[in-house]
Amino acid sequence: MEPKIELKLLDIIYRFKGMSLKDAQFKEKEVNGKKLLTLELTFSDEGVYQTMVLVLNKDLTVSDCQDIYEEIIK
């Protein structure tokens, strides 16, 4: 990943630091005729709510990602 993109993503993630996760929902959306799976995470801290939306690759299944999942949780 390009360092410029990585820095931008880390900046966005940092905005949620210290906030509590209040809700998580998977939602299917269609963009340009392509179905996308999103994960919407809602965080809160002292009455301020912010939502992080992650777009997931729907073609990958849990079984396909099991090795990656196990590495992440180590």
CA 74 to chain CA centroid, Å, is 19
User: pTM for this one?
Assistant: 0.68
Q: Which of 46, 54, 45, 44 is nearest to 12 (CA)?
A: 54
Whether 40 and 29 have beta carbons less than 8 Å apart is answered as no
Rounded to 5 degrees, what are φ and ψ at 10?
Answer: -65, -35
More confident residue, 64 or 5: 5
Structure tokens at 40: 């919407």
Q: How is residue 35 written in tokens?
A: 């179905």
What is the C-alpha separation between 21 and 40, in angstroms, rounded?
A: 11
Residue ranges of domains in the chain, CATH in brackets? 3-73 (3.30.360)
Q: What is the pLDDT of residues 11-61, one digit of tens each?
A: 989 999 999 999 999 988 888 888 888 889 999 988 889 999 988 876 665
The predicted structure's pLDDT at residue 69 = 66
